[in-house]
């Protein structure tokens, strides 16, 4: 895809001004890093506060008399039970019990506010429009999305918007910040405390500059976004989750609240429910696990995983170097009998055997602010 045909977010000019190294991602020109570099940006985020442009993601509103209940026909998640002004992680499933995308759903009072992955937003919009005929499903095309993540994010936001101080993890609300009509959620994709802020496109650059003017804040690119989420054990759709992985295989049972499970009040009613319930009842043949790596060589996506006897028993689905761990780190799927914590396996990298160990996720402690 030529540079010219890549889409630009409202912060494109700012990225260039900040020295962002631009690459194509999901059809957008996005900064993979700035002069600070991926390691520096990653460490800064965990030490202070990092500002990410995630405007390429899809923002959608869903309105209807029974929007939450209707939405439950698309996901194995309790949407009806999302308290007003809070949000929840959800999964679009398919008829094979696999996952077609992961997303966030916020209860905005009189509507649902949904954020989906950039690479899937067209399909997701179509799915919602087709699957929710009694709802008005509208793509928001005039807003940017920013994420401010790290232990200093709360202090920074408290200065700029004092009302954020009483928000806890997964709270979400509309808020006027500096006179700007924002939607702000206390969540993110790094394992750190932080906020995701939807800002009208024409005010996004000014808002970003406002945040960057704070001492603790640095601009962070997609390279560090990936290493941060990897250390946090968070899935990247299209890599750790895909249409062939069920939520049970993906170790995402926690996202499927009891009320939607086989013996729940609103059991099933989403695509692939039968298969997913079978997985729950009978178990699965493979599971997503975290992996800690011996040595310094990264073990990357696609690497074969073997038991100690040369048998292939799994594959790495995400892998790279973890700057906080100061070591390589990975996630992958292994045959269920090898999924126990502490299991020692072998990863094959350039024909060499690298010892790896099944590890608890997240690999770096989570620091969500639960109040």
Alpha-carbon distance of 231 to 344, in angstroms, equals: 19
List the one residue from 150, 185, 194, 323 that touches other proteins (CB under 8 A): 323
Q: Which of 18, 26, 39, 275 binds other proteins (CB under 8 A)?
A: 39
- Nearest to other proteins of 182, 303 (CB atom): 303
x-marked contacts with other proteins along 200-239 as a string, rule CB under 8 A? -----------------------x--xx------------
Q: Which tokens sit at 268?
A: 């099933």
- DSSP-assigned beta bridge partners for residue 24: 29
Judged by CB under 8 A, the stretch of 64-72, 154-162, 171-179, 317-325 that binds other proteins is: 317-325
The radius of gyration computed from the CA coordinates of the chain, to the nearest angstrom, equals 20
Work out whether 24 is an interface residue with other proteins (CB under 8 A): no
CB 148 within 8 A of CB 51: yes
Task: Check residue 273 for interaction with other proteins (CB under 8 A).
Answer: no
Interaction of residue 298 with other proteins, rule CB under 8 A? yes
Scanning the structure block, which residue is given the tokens 């709802």? Answer: 135
The half-sphere exposure of 148 on its side-chain side, counting CA atoms within 13 A, is 29
Shortest Å, Cβ 38 to other proteins: 4
* Per rule CB under 8 A, count of chain residues that contact other proteins: 19
CB 172 within 8 A of CB 183: yes
First-to-final CA distance of the chain: 46
Q: How many distinct helices (H) and strands (E) make up the chain?
A: 8, 19
For the purposes of burial, counting CB atoms within 10 Å of the CB of 153, is it exposed (0-12), middle (13-18) or buried (19 or more)?
buried
Residue 318 as a binder of other proteins (CB under 8 A): the answer is no
Structure tokens at 334: 């292994």
Q: If binding is defined by CB under 8 A, does position 320 make contact with other proteins?
A: yes
One of 296, 310, 342, 351 touching other proteins (CB under 8 A): 296
Q: Pinpoint the alpha helices (H) of the chain.
A: 12-17, 37-47, 67-71, 121-131, 153-160, 201-212, 222-231, 273-282
Least spacing, CB of residue 47 vs other proteins, in Å: 16
Which of 26, 180, 259, 297 touches other proteins (CB under 8 A)?
297
Q: Environment class of residue 370 by beta-carbon count within 10 Å: exposed (0-12), middle (13-18) or buried (19+)?
A: exposed
CB of 42 or CB of 261, closer to other proteins: 42
Q: Which is nearer to other proteins, 95 or 326 (CB)?
A: 326
280 interacts with other proteins by CB under 8 A: no
Question: Which tokens sit at 123?
Answer: 């399909």
If the CB atoms of residues 2 and 351 are measured against other proteins, the closer one turns out to be 351
Task: Identify which of residues 10 and 322 has a Cβ nearer to other proteins in the complex.
Answer: 322
- Our finding on whether 306 is near other proteins (CB under 8 A) is no
x/- track of binding to other proteins for residues 130-159 (CB under 8 A): ------------------------------
Q: Are 319 and 297 in contact (CB under 8 A)?
A: no
Of 142 and 326, nearer to other proteins (C-beta) is: 326
Based on the shown chain and the rule CB under 8 A, indicate whether residue 185 belongs to the binding site for other proteins: no
Phi, psi dihedrals of residue 250, rounded to the nearest 5°:
-80, 5
Site string for other proteins, 326-345 (x = CB under 8 A): --x-----------------
Q: How many Å apart are CA 193 and CA 171, to the nearest integer? A: 12
CB of 317 to other proteins, least distance (A): 16
Q: How far apart are CA 344 and CA 351, in angstroms?
A: 18
CA-to-CA dists, residue 248 to 188, 272, 314, 362, angstroms: 23, 12, 16, 18
Choose one: 147-155, 279-287, 293-301, 357-365; the region binding other proteins (CB under 8 A): 293-301
Interacting residue ranges for other proteins, rule: CB under 8 A: 32-33, 37-40, 42, 223, 226-227, 296-298, 300, 320-321, 323, 328, 350
């Amino acid at each position: 895809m030529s540079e010219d045909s890549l889409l630009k977010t409202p912060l494109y000019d700012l990225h260039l001004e900040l020295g962002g190294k631009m690459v194509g991602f999901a059809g957008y020109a996005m900064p993979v890093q700035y002069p600070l570099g991926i390691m520096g940006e990653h460490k800064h985020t965990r030490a202070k506060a990092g500002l990410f442009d995630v405007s390429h993601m899809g923002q959608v509103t869903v309105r209807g008399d029974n929007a939450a209940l209707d939405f439950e026909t698309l996901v194995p998640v309790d949407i009806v039970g999302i308290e007003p002004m809070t949000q929840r992680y959800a999964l679009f499933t398919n008829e094979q019990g696999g996952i077609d995308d992961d997303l966030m759903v916020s209860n905005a009072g009189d509507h649902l506010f949904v954020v989906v992955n950039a690479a899937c937003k067209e399909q997701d919009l179509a799915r919602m429009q087709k699957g929710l005929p009694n709802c008005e499903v509208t793509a928001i095309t005039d807003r940017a999305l920013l994420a401010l993540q790290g232990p200093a994010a709360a202090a920074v936001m408290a200065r700029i918007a004092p009302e954020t101080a009483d928000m806890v993890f997964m709270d979400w609300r509309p808020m006027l910040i500096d006179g700007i009509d924002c939607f702000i959620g206390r969540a993110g994709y790094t394992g750190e405390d932080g906020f995701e802020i939807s800002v009208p496109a024409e005010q996004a650059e000014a808002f970003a500059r406002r945040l960057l003017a704070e001492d603790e804040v640095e601009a962070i690119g997609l390279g560090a976004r990936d290493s941060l989420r990897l250390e946090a054990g968070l899935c990247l759709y299209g890599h750790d989750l895909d249409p062939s992985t069920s939520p049970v295989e993906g170790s995402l049972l926690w996202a499927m609240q009891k009320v939607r499970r086989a013996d729940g009040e609103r059991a099933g009613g989403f695509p692939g429910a039968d298969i997913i319930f079978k997985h729950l009842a009978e178990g699965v043949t493979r599971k997503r696990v975290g992996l800690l790596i011996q040595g310094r060589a990264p073990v990357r996506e696609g690497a074969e995983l073997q038991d100690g006897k040369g048998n292939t028993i799994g594959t790495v689905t995400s892998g790279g170097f973890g700057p906080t761990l100061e070591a390589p780190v990975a996630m992958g799927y292994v045959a269920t009998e090898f999924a126990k914590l502490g299991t020692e396996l072998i990863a094959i990298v350039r024909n060499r055997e690298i010892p790896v160990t099944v590890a608890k996720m997240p690999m770096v402690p989570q620091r969500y602010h639960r109040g």
